[in-house]
Chain A
Amino acid sequence: MNVTDYKMMGVIFSNMHDDSMGDLTELRTVGSIPYGGRYRLIDFTLSNMVNSGITDVGVITKLNYQSLLDHLGAGRAWDLSRKRGGLVILPPFSRTVAGGAAGIYRGSIEALAGRLDYLRSVDARYVCLSDCDVITNLDFKDVLARHVETGADITVLYANMEMRPASRDLAALETGPDSRVLDVTLNPREGGSMKVYLNMVVLNRELLIKLVESCYTHGEYSFTQDVLQKRLRDFHICGYEVRDFCVRVSDMQSYFAANMALLNPEARAQLFPPERPVFTKVRDEVPAKYGLKAQVENSLVADGCVIDGRVENSVVGRGVRIGRGAVVKNSILMQGTIVGEGADLNYVVTDKNVVVRTGRALCGYTTIPVYLQKGFSV
């Protein structure tokens, strides 16, 4: 087969799952949630696409996407600032069944229905669709190879994960021995180990266009419900298991856990392999500086930080300042957080540019970390 026969394009939904994230998405999209000290969630799926040789990526936005636009720019950091193809931001058009205001689509099918022009304009045989809620490092070329090999119409990605009972916004798969998807269940009541759908699929572009048109004319809008569930018997749908590091962010608790997972060296090795780097916006920060009394253990520290206090089991974002005598444990400090001298934080998530003044103490718990919103001052 010719190389161009395998050409794939990407479509990323930046705002799917906005509602379940609570405070984290009050002023931003899921795609622009800060993660791991220097990233935004969209960096992972975008870098995966770029590292898989995809050079056409459309990002379908919805609401609150200023931070996303700031972050993505023209796509240069991902090498997607191109004359041919590259990154295309797709603010939604008002073409919803509900006839609502611009951008109020209800699901990915409806979002795509509004931007079929883009899907039609790119000369690629395959499409990779992805939300931004899953953090993993994978090669979509491997997925496509399997997709072609199995002769599937649609290949859906999943990972075995341990889920709490009544997890929200979750689709679980049941697969047969030939990896064919036999059943898709939404928000299963029971917890435990399950094959969690990663909101990433690979399929033929022409098929996707047909599916979107068919669903749209039938008033259907959700890929999971209206394609994977309703049309499960009409198509050959195969599962592709992601075995390396893979975490899903669906609320504050899972966001906290997903950050803490990075303190494991094995997890970092799988998420940041040198041959598939994770790209993000360049901020030209200075290297982190440790003072005379700094004491840091088991923590990730991004560039631009100035650390004079004690930090344990924490993820410290770009440009964070931690004063003398301050103690930060089990916390996630986003970009530009300032922790004053002698302050004491345990199980705290500070959003961007939070200020914790001298001597203040805050303490949460692993299941309910204290969250301080962007720009907040304690």
Chain B
Amino acid sequence: MTSKKEWIAMLLAGGQGSRLYTLTRKIAKPAVPFGGKYRIIDFPLSNCVNSGIDTVGVLTQYQPLQLNEYIGNGQPWDLDRLSGGAFVLPPFQRSAGSDWYTGTANAIWQNSGFIERYDPKYVVILSGDHIYKMDYGKMLAFHKEKGSVATIAVLEVPMEEAPRFGIMNTNPDLSVYQFEEKPACPKSNLASMGIYIFDWPVLRRYLEADDADPNSSKDFGKNIIPAMLAAGEKMYAYPFDGYWKDVGTIDSLWEANMDLLNPAVPLDLYDPSWKIYSRNPVMPPHYVAPGAMVQNSMVTEGSEIWGTVDFSVIFAGVTVERGAVVRDSIIMPGAVIHSGAQVEYSIVAERADIGAGAVVGSRPEDMDDKDKWGVTVIGDCVRIGPGVTVEPKSMVDRDIRGV
């Protein structure tokens, strides 16, 4: 038995993120690059360590190679500890048979042995697909103060968007009396952020009971929370008022990156007391050449900018050649935009190569039919030949020969 911890975190990072299409063809969603030098999972991991959580189980299943390598021993997040630290937890075989993680609750249940090793009072359940900065310590204080056994972080969303979320209906003291998954007529606009704190002994009971139920879909939102409410467990909604974004779709991923360029968006990455840690690239500072123009953009070390970059997020080791134009786009690590190419409203994935004079995506204002407009995505390592035009809203996952 290892030492007892007051709380530990379990990070659900096994999802495929199928709505990111080609971006998650070879990597799990939490490993998708974000914000110039991060991957999505850096946000919950950094939140954990900044909140004082020193033990994090990362549950992986879909395409785990890159995620495993990225997390490694947890050192970049200061999670290489003598007792505890970061652990990658894939499904494993046991004497009574083995199974993939069949749902979020099942994934935690299958790892109850891991949790028991630390005998924690509280378990924080997180997901690996949200961009936000949050002090889980404050949430735990709230949980204790209310005498809650299950606390769910909630965000006020516009009422018209509420039907897209899991909605918590609360009493004035923030105790939850009802949970509704994507209600057609929402009674409240408090959306679940997918962040839970449970009293572990209580959660353990419900997970065990849920596991025995063959009709359950083994999901926190669909099964565990309703079961706890039905049994009258004390459940509270913890209101969060900072920036939070689910980056599960191409559009939301693009928007969340662009939010970093907007001074009005309350997500301050420059706060030294709440740094977002990541595995840093080993590259020289980026270079901006004579004649280049860079405005309203983020640029990461190792890049070489010879062309024009406007309203874009440029990751490490990107080359934008002379005469190339990148606007309103996200260019992921190692991609090359050759001379004269034009990339607009696009996500260009890792090590993709956009040939000279190619035209990728377009601005909505340049479209005759606005309905055909959308963010264009070029998959990782895809080569777009010289002079090729890639229509807006396309999703390119194989090479296109030049003209």
Residues of A within 8 A of B (CB): 36-38, 76, 262-263, 265, 268, 271-272, 277-280, 282, 284, 286-304, 306, 315-316
Contacts and interface: CB of A to CB of B under 8 A. Distances in A.
Q: Which 4 residue pairs are nearest across A and B when measured between Cβ atoms? A: A287-B36, A37-B285, A302-B285, A287-B300
B283 interface: yes
Contact of A296 (B37, B76, B288, B313): B288
A288 B298 contact: yes
Contacts of A304: 270
A306 to B, nearest CB: 7
A299 B286 CA distance: 8
Interface hub of A76, A277, A287, A295 (most chain B Cβ within 10 A): A287
Nearest to A76: B75
Nearest to B282: A277
Contact of A290 (B37, B299, B304): B299
Contact of A302 (B261, B292, B301, B314): B301
Contacts of A76: 75
A372 to B, nearest CB: 20
A301 B288 contact: yes
B283 A298 contact: no
Interface hub of A278, A284, A291, A295 (most chain B Cβ within 10 A): A284
A76 B288 CA distance: 30
19 contacts: A76-B75, A268-B284, A271-B284, A272-B284, A282-B280, A284-B276, A286-B298, A287-B35, A287-B313, A287-B315, A288-B299, A290-B299, A291-B295, A294-B296, A297-B288, A298-B290, A300-B284, A301-B286, A303-B37
A296 B296 contact: no
Nearest to B77: A284
Contacts of B314: 287
A301 B305 CA distance: 11
A303 B289 contact: no
Nearest to A296: B288
Contacts of B187: none
Given A287-B298, A291-B296, A300 B282 contact: no
A2 B343 CA distance: 53
Contact of B275 (A268, A271, A284): A284
Given A296-B292, A298-B288, 4 more contacts: A282-B280, A286-B298, A291-B296, A300-B286
B296 A292 contact: yes
Nearest to B46: A284
Contacts of B298: 286-290
A301 B285 contact: yes
B301 A38 contact: yes
B187 to A, nearest CB: 40
Interface string B263-285: 00000011000011110101111
Contacts of B280: 282, 284
A306 B294 CA distance: 12
Interface hub of B76, B285, B313, B315 (most chain A Cβ within 10 A): B285
A183 B283 CA distance: 39
A286 B290 CA distance: 24
